[in-house]
Amino acid sequence: MKKTRLSLASSFVFLLSLFLLPQQEVYITLKEGVPAISIAVPDFIAASSARAGEAAKEICQVISDDLSYSRIFQLVPKKYHEYIRPLDPKNIFFKDWESIQANILLVGEVGDGEAKDIVFEGKLYDVKGARYIFGKRFQTPSNACRLAAHRMADEIVRVLSGEKPIFSSKIVFVSDRDGNDELYMMDYDGHNQTRLTFNKIRDYMPSWSPDKEKIAYLSYPGVGVAGLYLLYIEEGKKIPVSTRGTNFSPDFSPDGKKLAFCSTMDGNSEIYVCSADGKNIKRLTYNDAIDTAPSWSPTSRELAFVSDRSGSPQVYIMDAEGSNVRRVSFGGTYHDSPAWSPTGDRIVYVSRVENIFDLYVLNLRTNQIIKLTESNARNESPSWSPDGRHIVFSSSLAGANQIYTIDYDGANLRRLTSQGSNKLPDWSN
């Protein structure tokens, strides 16, 4: 199947006409500085029941928030909708929507389903071409409307851009809101925060597997000891991987085959790798210095990590087998927590300057460094969104540590948590 890649600067009409050709996929390749796609999301049409009306409002709002967050789309302000005729899903006046600069139109209808279910149908149109693009229908319990909305937004991103959507993704993190450091999970936007572990010991440093079926994490049964475990989410099953010495920083390879981590099992902090099920542990680094914080490249062929072998903690890259080690950070005296972007061209990391911890992004192609955060807070533990446009991290900006997201260029700071102290987030694929 032939794939054609176009920038947003290309004609939008030409893009949609290509989209409708058989046996051809068209992806929009978004570039920095290129205008976003203008999309109109009018209020969804609801059945007469109060339940359907509330669901229509919620679904419309969630989809609108998702699309705005994506940086792929620019929503036409609702105030402009007042200047055109009311929407009739069966007879759409596309010229009206074109007059308020909408390129894409999303029409939603919500009704009552069986039992207490809600039926939601969303349809996407090319305004200038006056053409139907695609539609999806969901039947869902009324308390799961947000999930249906996220999945619809995912489909819109997937169809129009070919990029990996993020709206159904999850963030795992550590919180002490119930009195002990435990693992919690939430939606990408901070909703549906759910506790995953119930222990009397501290849980730490969670990492998602690519299939979202398990989480690698640390448990502290005593002082100076941290075991590495796998938590199978659906079954609630816990399997030990390494319980010798102190273990840190697990990270699953994007291909789902391996798990990298650091450990003092042989006396010094070194990088190890094992299969994704926790078996066949193999040591990768052999150095008197401290090697820690491994992070896989999106190809699963390389690892970024931190080492003080040059005298201060710096970021290095090595091949997946431990060979071809090279240093990639040269400024500053303390770097930590590198995270390789899904696009492969950037690494975000933490740097300490005069006891201030901030996030920086290193562009591996240009060697340009961008400072993402600028505050007297402690900003740590960055993790990329699946599309590489956003970063989740923990910060003491509000006093106690909380979880925030920020865009790859430092824009759009958003706080996700508020209860207790929250830290060490990891964004699922």
pLDDT of residue 347: 98
Is residue 139's pLDDT more than 70?
yes
Q: Which of 43, 73, 45, 62 is nearest to 156 (CA)?
A: 73
| Structural domains of the chain, with CATH | 2-161 (3.40.50.10070), 170-427 (2.120.10.30)
pLDDT on residue 317? 98
Least confident residue range of 26-40, 90-104, 108-122: 26-40
pLDDT confidence bin for 27, thresholds 50/70/90:
very low
Alpha-carbon gap, residue 182 to 175, rounded angstroms: 6
* Signed CA dihedral, 371, 377, 380, 382: sign only: negative
Q: Which of 65, 59, 67 is nearest to 43 (CA)?
A: 59
- pLDDT, tens digit, 9 for 90 and up, residues 256-292: 999 999 999 999 999 999 999 999 999 999 989 999 9
H or E element that contains 130: none
**Residue 5: exposure state from Cβ atoms within 10 A (0-12, 13-18, ≥19):** exposed
Q: Residue with structure tokens 């435990």?
A: 182
Q: Which two tokens stand for residue 320?
A: 């997946």
Q: pLDDT for 402-422, tens place per residue?
A: 999 999 999 999 999 999 999
Contact 128, 13 (CB under 8 A): yes
| Cα–Cα distance for residue pair 307/341, rounded to 1 Å | 20
Nearest to 328 by CA among 343, 349, 358: 349
How confident is the model at residue 3, as a pLDDT? 35
Burial label for 427, CB within 10 Å (0-12, 13-18, 19+), is buried
Q: Which pLDDT value is given to residue 301?
A: 98
CB 227 within 8 A of CB 247: yes
Name the more confident of 337 and 19: 337
In terms of DSSP bridges, do strands 202-208 and 194-195 run parallel, antiparallel, or are they unpaired? unpaired
pTM here is 0.89
The single residue listed with the structure tokens 């600028």 is 374
Length of the chain: 429
Residue 57 CA: distances (Å) to CA of 20, 138, 145, 229, 252: 31, 16, 10, 42, 38
Once rounded to an integer, what is the mean pLDDT over residues 18-28? 31
Residue 170 has what pLDDT?
98
Helices (H), 71-169: 78-81, 94-99, 145-161
Helix or strand run (H / E) with residue 360: strand 356-363
What pLDDT is stored for residue 223 in this prediction?
A: 63
- Token pair belonging to 66: 């998702």
Question: What's residue 410's pLDDT?
Answer: 93
Per-residue model confidence as pLDDT tens digits over 63-85: 999 999 999 999 999 999 999 99
- State pLDDT tens for residues 319-376: 999 999 999 998 788 999 999 999 999 999 999 988 889 999 999 999 999 999 988 8
Of the candidates 353, 419, 423, 414, the one whose C-alpha atom is nearest the C-alpha of residue 389 is 414
| Residue 34 binned pLDDT confidence (cut-offs 50, 70, 90) | low
| pLDDT of 7 strictly over 80 | no
pLDDT tens profile 197-241: 998 889 999 999 999 999 999 998 766 679 999 999 999 899 999
pLDDT of residue 29: 36
pLDDT (0 to 100) of residue 353: 86
The number of beta carbons lying within 10 Å of the beta carbon of residue 368 is 10
Nearest-10 Cα torsion for 135, 151, 52, 193:
-170
E strands of 209-257, at which residues?
214-222, 225-232, 237-242, 247-252
CA-CA distance, 262 to 260, in Å (whole number)?
7
Residue 11: pLDDT band (50, 70, 90) is very low
| pLDDT beyond 70 at 5 | no
Radius of gyration of the chain (CA): 23
The residues near 90 (Cβ < 8 Å, ≥ 6 apart) are none
Is the pLDDT confidence value at 159 over 50? yes
Q: What is the pLDDT of residue 220?
A: 87
Q: Which residues contact 12 (CB under 8 A, 6 or more apart)?
A: 37, 103, 126, 128
Of 24-38, 172-186, 190-204, 373-387, minimum mean pLDDT range: 24-38
**What is the pLDDT of the chain when averaged over all its residues?**
90
